[in-house]
């Protein structure tokens, strides 16, 4: 028994994850619908990841803020948000262009029996206001990551100001709280390491259940839609991101090697937020500065959805073909904007992209019944879109980090002066 444990823990994480994935596919194919008895193994893994996400975001953000200063926070924000918008816009365009070539909607007709509710479109102002929770505890309990980010930054800043205060008592209390945060950070990281030991078994459960219970007939009928989605993410990750990274002098292959564990975890969990603990771990491996990683990645996991944006591009052309419509260039340009906004509003959880798709269709005047056509194969495409989302988060963090390199000094005398005056 002891030697099995030693063998298991001694193996590299990636080998174990790939093993879990491959055995999962095999079991899924062999057992078919019966494989659903393995689903709890996957749910346990997802629950464990979700369990650690909030403490991880809270402690790591508060510590990161305390290793930083308000000027730097503002600067990082001003860099990462334009990246998110630009890369998401580019992703919608890639989806549209590829779908124009592959014609995924050819041969389909509008489903008549399905009735779907039109989802309400969250307004931009509501999204912004939603970041400021009226009740901290309900924000935490609901796992509302953007609100948790906001609270952590505000409280982290308060502690930072206390530590740099001229008042001795405030300074002492600030230092005490900072020590507590650092200790909390250590605890979270220990728990996370334990969860990752279990990860390959969880992956086996998820994969067996996905491959065993999915109807392959629908997958074949929607083959072009699925193929275009995978191709789109491949172009994004294999062409668009490398170009962006090269512009900043980043070694692309090495970077991808460093982040492979997060990329893989995102693929099997279909959840950017669930993957976040692994994403943050990989960022460290990829040499992304702690402050940039911990400040940007929780936000990225919530609002930066590059893969999902590809779905919107492909889906709009898919729907237009079914309806026999040809969209003009200005109409397509509007869809790029709508798609970008809808991607920002899409939550980093499994299946959220389907809701986003309904929003895009409603805005673009396309029948949302077509969304239902793709629902059956959603699990298969969700995996690759989430992969695109998480890789995008890490690419953004790496680019911002690269541009911060020459400024990577700790809070210096001049800046602490700014803090004291504030």
- Please report, as ranges, the residues that interact with ligand ASP according to CB under 6 A: 270-272, 305, 308, 346, 348-353, 382, 385-386, 389
Long-range contacts of 11-17 (CB under 8 A, 24+ apart): 13/196, 13/199, 13/261, 14/260, 14/261, 14/264, 16/199, 16/200, 17/199, 17/200, 17/203, 17/261, 17/264, 17/265, 17/268
Q: Which CB sits closer to ligand ASP, 178 or 318?
A: 318
Q: Measured from the CB of residue 235, what is the shortest distance to ligand ASP in angstroms? A: 17
C-beta of 162 vs 342, nearer to ligand ASP: 342
The residue whose two tokens read 């065993």 is 212
Distance CA 381, CA 303 (A): 19
Q: How far is the CB of 153 from ligand ASP (least distance, A)?
A: 22
Q: For the CB of residue 364, give the shortest distance to ligand ASP in the complex, in Å.
A: 18
CA distance 310 to 293: 24
Structure tokens at 47: 């629950």
Q: Which is nearer to ligand ASP, 104 or 156 (CB)?
A: 104
Q: How far apart are CA 20 and CA 175, in angstroms?
A: 44
Residue 271 C-beta: closest distance to ligand ASP, Å: 4
Tell me the DSSP string of 255-300. Answer: HHHHTHHHHHHHHHH--HHHHHHHHHHHHHHTT--HHHHHHHHHHH
Minimum CB distance to ligand ASP smaller for 177 or for 368: 368
Least CB distance from residue 390 to ligand ASP, whole Å? 7
Distance CA 297, CA 57 (A): 9
Nearer to ligand ASP, 50 or 100 (CB): 50
C-beta closer to ligand ASP: residue 215 or 351: 351
Alpha-carbon distance 366 to 147, whole Å?
32
| Smallest separation, CB 275 to ligand ASP (Å) | 8
- Report the phi/psi class of residue 349: left, alpha or beta, with left for phi > 0 and alpha for psi in -120 to 50: beta
Measure the CA–CA gap between 236 and 419, rounded to whole angstroms: 41
Nearest distance from C-beta of residue 301 to ligand ASP, angstroms: 7
What is the C-alpha separation between 336 and 21, in angstroms, rounded? 35
Residue (133 or 300) nearer to ligand ASP, CB: 300
- Tokens 């292959």 locate to 253
Q: Which residue, 68 or 304, has its beta carbon nearer to ligand ASP?
A: 304
Q: Are 151 and 133 in contact (CB under 8 A)?
A: yes
What token pair was written down for 229? 């989605």
CB of 272 to ligand ASP, least distance (A): 3
Quick one: tokens of 5? 């444990």
Minimum CB distance to ligand ASP smaller for 66 or for 275: 275
Chain residue at closest Cβ approach to ligand ASP: 353
Shortest distance (Å) from residue 273 CB to ligand ASP = 6
């Amino acid at each position: 028994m002891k030697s099995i444990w030693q063998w298991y823990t001694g193996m590299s994480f990636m080998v174990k994850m790939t093993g879990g994935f491959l055995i999962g596919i095999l079991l899924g194919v062999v057992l078919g619908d019966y494989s659903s008895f393995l689903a709890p193994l996957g749910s346990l893994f997802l629950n464990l990841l979700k369990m650690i996400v909030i403490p991880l975001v809270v402690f790591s953000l508060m510590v990161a803020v305390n290793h930083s200063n308000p000027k730097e926070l503002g600067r990082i924000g001003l860099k990462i948000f334009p990246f998110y918008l630009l890369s998401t816009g580019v992703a919608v365009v890639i989806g549209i262009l590829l779908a124009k070539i592959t014609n995924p909607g050819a041969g389909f007709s509008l489903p008549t029996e399905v009735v779907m509710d039109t989802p309400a479109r969250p307004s931009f102002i509501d999204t912004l206001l939603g970041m400021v929770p009226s009740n901290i505890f309900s924000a935490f309990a609901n796992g509302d990551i953007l609100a948790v980010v906001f609270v952590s930054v505000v409280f982290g800043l308060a502690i930072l100001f206390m530590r740099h205060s001229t008042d001795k008592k405030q300074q002492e209390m600030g230092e005490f709280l900072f020590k507590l945060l650092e200790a909390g950070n250590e605890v979270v990281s220990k728990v996370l390491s334990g969860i990752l030991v279990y990860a390959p078994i969880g992956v086996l459960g998820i994969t067996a259940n996905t491959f065993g219970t999915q109807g392959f007939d629908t997958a074949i009928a929607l083959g072009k839609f699925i193929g275009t989605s995978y191709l789109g993410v491949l172009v994004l990750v294999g062409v668009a991101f490398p170009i962006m990274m090269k512009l900043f002098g980043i070694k692309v292959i090495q970077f991808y090697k460093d982040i492979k564990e997060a990329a893989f975890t995102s693929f099997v969990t279909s959840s950017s937020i669930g993957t976040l603990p692994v994403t943050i771990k990989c960022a460290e491996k990829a040499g992304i500065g702690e402050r940039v990683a911990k400040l940007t990645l929780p936000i990225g996991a919530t609002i930066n959805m590059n893969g999902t944006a590809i779905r919107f591009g492909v889906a709009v052309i898919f729907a237009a073909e079914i309806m026999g419509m040809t969209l003009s260039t200005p109409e397509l340009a509007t869809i790029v904007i709508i798609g970008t906004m809808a991607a920002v509003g899409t939550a980093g959880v499994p299946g959220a992209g389907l809701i986003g798709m309904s929003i895009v269709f409603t805005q673009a005047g396309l029948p949302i019944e077509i969304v239902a056509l793709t629902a059956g194969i959603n699990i298969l495409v969700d995996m690759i879109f989430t992969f695109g989302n998480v890789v995008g988060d890490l690419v953004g963090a790496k680019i911002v980090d690269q541009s911060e390199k020459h400024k990577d000094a700790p809070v210096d005398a001049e800046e602490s002066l700014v803090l004291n005056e504030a």
